[in-house]
Amino acid sequence: MTVESLMNMKKFTYSRIIVKINGKHIEQEDYTNTVINDEDDVQMIHLLAGG
């Protein structure tokens, strides 16, 4: 499974999101070719702004 396929499966449509796999930041242009392996620690953080 790739980062992109996981985001599609979870229906993530946020415009600003940070993805980390095992603590390493994944650039948005790499979502289609970055593979998530079993037991990887995947973090997807949705950025919000407010005031």
Say if CB 35 and CB 1 are below 8 A apart: yes
Say if CB 26 and CB 14 are below 8 A apart: no
Say if CB 34 and CB 21 are below 8 A apart: yes
Q: What is the pTM for the complete model shown?
A: 0.84
pLDDT tens digits, 3-17: 999 999 999 888 889
pLDDT tens digits, 23-48: 999 999 999 999 999 999 999 999 88
